[in-house]
Amino acid sequence: MLGFFTLVPICAVIALGFALFLTLKILKADEGNEKMVEIAQAVREGAAAYLKRQYKVSGIFFLVVFCLLMLLAFQGYLVIFVPFAFLTGGLFSALAGFCGMKIATLSSARTANACQYSLNQGLRLAFSSGSVMGFIVVGLGLLDLSFWFCSLDWYYSHHLVPDGMDKITATTSTMLTFGMGASFQALFARVGGGIFTKAADVGADLVGKVEAGIPEDDPRNPAVIADNVGDNVGDVAGMGADLYESYVGSIVATAALGVAAGLGVNGVTVPMMMAGVGIIASIIGMNFVSTKEDATQKALLSALRKGIFIASGVVVAAAYVIIRVLLGPEYVGIAWAVITGLAAGILIGLCTEYYTSAHYKPTQHIADTALTGPATLIIEGLSVGMQSTAFPMVIIALATIAAFGLAGGFENFSLGLYGIGIAAVGMLSTLGITLATDAYGPVADNAGGNAEMAGLDPKVRERTDALDSLGNTTAATGKGFAIGSAALTALALIAAFKEKVVLEGAVMDLDLMDPLVLVGLFVGAMMPYLFSSLTMSAVGRAGSEVVVEVRRQFKEIAGIMEGTAKPDYARCVDIVTTSALKEMRVPAVIAIVTPVAIGFLFGINSVGGLLIGATASGFLLAVMMANSGGAWDNAKKYIEEGNHGGKGSNAHKAGVVGDTVGDPFKDTSGPSINILIKLMSMVSIVFAAIIVDKSLF
């Protein structure tokens, strides 16, 4: 039954091979002088140490949940493969994050060194590093899925399938539960990493920049290494794990929806094939990203965009062929759903850019309000963030209905749901290249830190700043993409959840006038608020621990400020590590317990309401936080460029306040919501059987 499917693992291997090829190319580059190597080494060690400890903590959580799943499996609520697939999902996700982080920390000094020669060489190196991350994520994700698909196919060909299912239903409904491992790992990576990076950043800034008056990334600041480590564990490893989860989740959900729509094995092969083709398309797109040696930032950005557009075009063409060949010409409408997903991803990115880039009015207007102090700047920033939710929400809404309708949902409901899933897969199919543009930012950021600390020529810092600024734009776009894909993935997962409930022999009726559904919806809509509150105050608490420690070092270690004594960097890394790992526990437990508790108390329909409420409300809050944060950041940079009095003016001070408020917004709480909505859906799917069996209502 595999047929065309065999192409899928081949594409996965190609992705990993391409990542290896890029890695070897990066490693050939020179890391610069001794000082630069030393600094890079410190960041590398800090990041590795953090991840090691994070994996230990998450390992314990994984063990507990594994035992719980085994228990459920023995009681017949899950097939026996689920606990093991849960482990491989987590393992592969962790591996992707680890590799991405590793290559990022290997590239920062090299990027700084390349910037000694030219801006363009620096860009190429940083972008290659981001690409490695992108291709490792898609390669490992698709490999894990291929492995389980083949194994289950073989197993159910030789053994009895569960009651009332055929072979393919048994396979996809088992695979559906696999995403939970990736979700779970993403939670720790995103939430823990997010708290780490912003606690270090806020702490370093508050004492260093504000109290001691030393510049950013100054080697005299004891928290500076922690800050640089944070970029890697938060923005690289966290972002990678987040999108790994969306990638895997959208594919398994769509596969299950394909079987439910009666498309059989081909309905399963299509999303996987599209993911595979997306890898090839991304590699093709990458080859079109070429710039002249003296290219402007705008030219660089449009070169990047060209790559993404070409990759998208290839995917669209391939989707048409794949769907026509595998499903037949009467289903080509589904190919339009792919376009819907891709277009939605690109449009949300453009909206994000409009609201967060200093080239446009909203951010410039925020900068204007800095003239009347921090209060008006905060008000305007929040207002811009709230306003910026309108278009992305409308885009997601229209994309959902378009994907549903184009796939034929108004004639055949199940087919429409499959269309929504396919739209999510389409949006994520070019992840290899889109993630590259995103993961490149922190590398550039770290390169700047390295140049500053190593005392390189100011010209180098200028070049890394230019790269960093471009990285800010791509990072903002990337965040819009991450939450957009998370929302579509969550919708696909919720639809798949409904199918899972039907397979458990129950009926799911999500009538909004049913107060049980309403209760779920209300609690679900509240969850992102609670979650954000927890992660924001975690940053505050961990940040103040850093403040206390930095103050102590300034006071007790004589000669730091004169540059004659070295601060104790490791102590700061250790503090943020400990705090981040401690603070991520409560949000983790809440995200897992809530859907199960709501299910036991108010029934399976209430869980459906919960998931949709969380998706709608979470999407809005995440977009608002990401865009407010991005806009404040760029408004500050806009002032620093000399507007409204430039650096050191009162307007600049107001801008710094906005940027500091925006830090946990855009890098901790906002992105963590992506995980929350996907993880709750995954948990609901895995626990569907026992909820149906044991709930009070």
Contacts with a copy of itself in 176-235 (CB under 8 A)? Answer: 202, 206, 210
For 200, list phi and psi in degrees, rounded to 5. -65, -45
Q: Which two tokens stand for residue 656?
A: 């710094």
Closest CA to 150 of 299, 265, 280, 313: 265
Residue with tokens 């595999």: 2
- Of the candidate spans 123-131, 170-178, 260-268, 390-398, the one that interacts with a copy of itself by CB under 8 A turns out to be 390-398
Closest CA to 625 of 539, 541, 683, 542: 539
CB of 128 to a copy of itself, least distance (A): 36
CB of 478 to a copy of itself, least distance (A): 22
- Of the candidate spans 50-58, 148-156, 542-550, 639-647, the one that interacts with a copy of itself by CB under 8 A turns out to be 542-550
Binding mask 619-658 for a copy of itself (x = CB under 8 A): xx---x-------------------------------xx-
Task: Tell me whether residue 239 or residue 656 sits nearer to a copy of itself (CB atom).
Answer: 656
Identify the burial level of 544 via C-beta atoms within 10 angstroms of its C-beta, where 0-12 means exposed, 13-18 middle and 19 or more buried: middle
Task: Tell me whether residue 322 or residue 423 sits nearer to a copy of itself (CB atom).
Answer: 423
User: Would you say the C-alpha torsion 648, 649, 653, 659 has a positive or negative sign?
Assistant: negative
CB of 119 to a copy of itself, least distance (A): 33
| By the rule CB under 8 A, 593 interacts with a copy of itself | no
Report d(CA 70, CA 469) in Å as an integer: 48
Q: How many residues bind a copy of itself, per CB under 8 A?
A: 79
CB within 8 A of 369, min separation 6: which ones?
A: 376, 377, 379, 380
| By the rule CB under 8 A, 543 interacts with a copy of itself | yes
- Of the candidate spans 26-34, 229-237, 375-383, 427-435, the one that interacts with a copy of itself by CB under 8 A turns out to be 375-383
Q: Which one among 390, 507, 558, 589 touches a copy of itself, defined by CB under 8 A?
A: 390
> Which alpha helices (H) appear in 159-232, and where do they start and end?
167-175, 179-187, 193-204, 224-230
- Of the candidate spans 3-11, 48-56, 468-476, 527-535, the one that interacts with a copy of itself by CB under 8 A turns out to be 527-535
Q: Which one among 1, 394, 558, 593 touches a copy of itself, defined by CB under 8 A?
A: 394
Residue with tokens 């990022």: 104
| By the rule CB under 8 A, 511 interacts with a copy of itself | yes
CB of 401 to a copy of itself, least distance (A): 5
Report d(CA 68, CA 574) in Å as an integer: 32
| By the rule CB under 8 A, 510 interacts with a copy of itself | yes
Binding mask 2-21 for a copy of itself (x = CB under 8 A): --------------------
Query: Quick check: 370 and 377 in contact, CB under 8 A?
Result: yes
CA angle 244, 247, 253 (to 5 degrees): 130
Task: Tell me whether residue 311 or residue 614 sits nearer to a copy of itself (CB atom).
Answer: 614
User: Would you say the C-alpha torsion 665, 667, 668, 673 has a positive or negative sign?
Assistant: positive
Task: Tell me whether residue 225 or residue 614 sits nearer to a copy of itself (CB atom).
Answer: 614
33: left (phi over 0), alpha (psi -120 to 50) or beta: beta
Report d(CA 390, CA 354) in Å as an integer: 13
Query: Quick check: 635 and 652 in contact, CB under 8 A?
Result: no
CB of 417 to a copy of itself, least distance (A): 7
Q: Which residues in the 418-437 window bind a copy of itself by CB under 8 A? A: 420
Q: Which residues in the 459-498 window bind a copy of itself by CB under 8 A? A: 491, 494-495, 498
CA atoms within 13 A on the CB side of 32: 29
Q: Which one among 286, 310, 539, 591 touches a copy of itself, defined by CB under 8 A?
A: 539
- Of the candidate spans 138-146, 335-343, 505-513, 555-563, the one that interacts with a copy of itself by CB under 8 A turns out to be 505-513
| By the rule CB under 8 A, 63 interacts with a copy of itself | no
Q: Which residues in the 657-676 window bind a copy of itself by CB under 8 A? A: 657, 660-661, 664
Kind and range of the H or E run holding 459: helix 458-503
CB of 229 to a copy of itself, least distance (A): 22
Task: Tell me whether residue 405 or residue 645 sits nearer to a copy of itself (CB atom).
Answer: 405
**Between the CA of residue 139 and those of 136, 432, 554, what are the distances in Å?**
5, 9, 46
Q: Which residues in the 96-135 window bind a copy of itself by CB under 8 A? A: none
Q: Which one among 397, 502, 558, 565 touches a copy of itself, defined by CB under 8 A?
A: 397
| By the rule CB under 8 A, 509 interacts with a copy of itself | yes
Q: Which one among 109, 114, 612, 679 touches a copy of itself, defined by CB under 8 A?
A: 612
Kindly calculate the radius of gyration of the chain based on its CA atoms and give it in whole angstroms: 24
Q: What count of other Cβ atoms lies within 10 Å of the Cβ of residue 352?
A: 28
Report d(CA 231, CA 219) in Å as an integer: 16
Q: Which two tokens stand for residue 33?
A: 């002088």
CB of 626 to a copy of itself, least distance (A): 13
CB of 206 to a copy of itself, least distance (A): 6
